[in-house]
Structure 1
């Protein structure tokens, strides 16, 4: 009869029957009422301990607000990262473009300067990595008159001096520096090259000042101001003269 009541009817009763075990008459006879009452009491006690957490909804909403705040923060950081990345790419391209432009101008002027100084030589700057010129560096090669191409490290002392000065003058043409200090740049040069370098410095670089330490008279006689250092009685002394005024006075 109990089984009949559990399975009779439709709707909710069928759903309940699907969850509860259907016992036969023999199984029902074997059940002890005391055991069932003890099990019921145990389940009721457990049910009373399962009191609902009324603060769960408020905690959920707080967690949801925290999560949304984290999402907004993440999106803001992502946008900032994208902006910085875009700015970096713009600066990287600008750096490469400006370097390439300056490299081209300096390379052309270097050829002109070296040909002028050596009366017929040639010079060249070459990037080791054309895609990323900042990673590998630059090769500086020259061809002295009536000689083959050489790396600057394989030149003689005088040839290195002329190649280096040609590069300095090319850099000065591209972006002038107001002051240069040169220590015995003419020490390894012959008389003709000393005169060429000295006259170029005097005539072509009037927008800069050069302080040159030299022992060659055909270099320092071109100076606008000459400072001589000498030693007497174990003491170093100096004297400054204006070569142009001194020459006029001598006349």
Structure 2
């Protein structure tokens, strides 16, 4: 029996045979008790001869109705998808508009902050100008008072001069009188002449004093005029700043109004977005409901496919039965089916009609049929195979990338370990040269993970114990950092290097050591050093300085040192 049947399975009916064939992908032959056969290729053969006949002409109309229903459902699905796309587009537009409004608000806030800073700067400038104006007014008032005092002093000196000149005239008259009256009083005359000479010297000094007072008054008047002009200029400048301040205040007011409008628009947009979200949620619920309906329709279609397959099997059986009956009529009775109608019994017509009606009712009960299901299955299968190929390619590519990353990581570890050893050696050498002794080393926290672990710096300045860098003084920390910098530059000298006051914490002796080391490295690297230390400046080839001769105006000075 086993050799006869081989890979053949016997079942009770055709429904079980079809289900079993699908489940096992048509891998063996299946035979029903009625003689129906399903081959591994999928072909179906009819079983025993039966006298039943079937008429399936009414099935075309039902298939058309099913196709129409499917088209209606597809149309509804497309309509729902269109509405969904429109809602999503509306939501996307509103979100994009919200982003644009957020960007506008940020730009306006930045502009507002900038303008506000300008206003603050202008107000500070106005306060400075007002302070300077008050100082100038005080100076003018002081100069006016000095001028008045100098004028009073000049008038007093002029009165004194007049008194002295009058006294001189009186003395001259007395001298003449004495000369005429008494020659014996020559000594007295000489004394008087001496007094006259002293008085003339006093007069000359008073004249010179008066001249200097005039010059001083002239200078004060010029200063007053200059201060008045400066005050007028400052008033004009102050007026301009007030106008600019007014314009800025107007701009700020406009910006505030725009911000309020934009915030209102954003609030309205937010409300609209919420409404759209609610509508979208409702549409999603409707879509989900429609999808469930469609899913149920697809389930019905699958059932119809099975019924259709059964009908096809029955049709094949009926056609085979009809052909067998025709052959039997001809072989046994030598009559055609048309001639055989004369020999039919009326009871057979009634039974056949009942059978036809029953089959029609069964076809109606099958419901709608998806004719395109087989084509859709082929497309889905092709898509699935394509995605499997893509996934396989991605897996291969991912494996290659992992190997590249692994190789790069290994190369990075090797290069880092090599360079770290060189830097560590250079650091120890440079530290000894700069400090004049001691020890220094770099230590990895985790040698198994050198690319991500931390690095400790341990140093031992001359005369101290070995300790962590955090326990050093500020100057020692700075000098250690400088030593590490030079250790790195020793491996790969850079063409340019900018140093910003890195020696600020060093004492004078170490500043000179640092400067000498800079000169040692200057053959391979050009250093641009920002410093306030004299020792560093003395070692430079060229010195650049910034000065401010006038308030707010910087001037660059340069000097080459030989």
TM-score, shorter chain, exceeding 0.5: yes
2:539 match: secondary structure: coil
* Residues 147 and 79 of structure 1, relative CA distance in 2, 3 Å threshold: same
The count of corresponding residues between Structure 1 and Structure 2 is 213
Corresponding residue to 2:425 among 98, 108, 116: 108
Q: Report which of the two has the higher share of strand.
A: 1
Corresponding residue to 1:201 among 502, 518, 524: 518
The within-5 A match list for 1:66-215 is 66-215=383-532
State how far apart, in whole Å, the 1-side matches of 2:533 and 2:374 are: 94
Instruction: Give RMSD over aligned pairs.
Output: 3.3
Structure 1 length-normalised TM: 0.71
State how far apart, in whole Å, the 2-side matches of 1:97 and 1:62 are: 52
State how far apart, in whole Å, the 1-side matches of 2:544 and 2:501 are: 14
C-alpha displacement of 1:218: 3.0
C-alpha displacement of 1:172: 0.9
State how far apart, in whole Å, the 1-side matches of 2:357 and 2:457 are: 94
Structure 2 residue aligned with 1:29: none
Structure 1 residue aligned with 2:559: 241
Q: Report which of the two has the higher share of helix.
A: 2
- RCO greater where, 1 or 2, for CA within 8 Å and sep 6 or more? 2
C-alpha displacement of 1:225: 0.6
* Residues 224 and 63 of structure 1, relative CA distance in 2, 3 Å threshold: same
1:131 match: secondary structure: helix
C-alpha displacement of 1:177: 2.5
State how far apart, in whole Å, the 2-side matches of 1:242 and 1:120 are: 35
Q: Cα deviations across residues 139-162 of structure 1 (Å, max 9, x unaligned)?
A: 111111121122222211221121
Q: Cα deviations across residues 166-214 of structure 1 (Å, max 9, x unaligned)?
A: 0000111122223223233333333332222111110233221222233
Unaligned runs of 5+ in 1: 1-13, 17-39, 245-251
1:72 match: secondary structure: helix
Q: Cα deviations across residues 54-91 of structure 1 (Å, max 9, x unaligned)?
A: 76554443333222212111111111111221121122
1:136 match: secondary structure: coil
State how far apart, in whole Å, the 2-side matches of 1:54 and 1:238 are: 89
Structure 2 length-normalised TM: 0.34
State how far apart, in whole Å, the 1-side matches of 2:539 and 2:445 are: 40
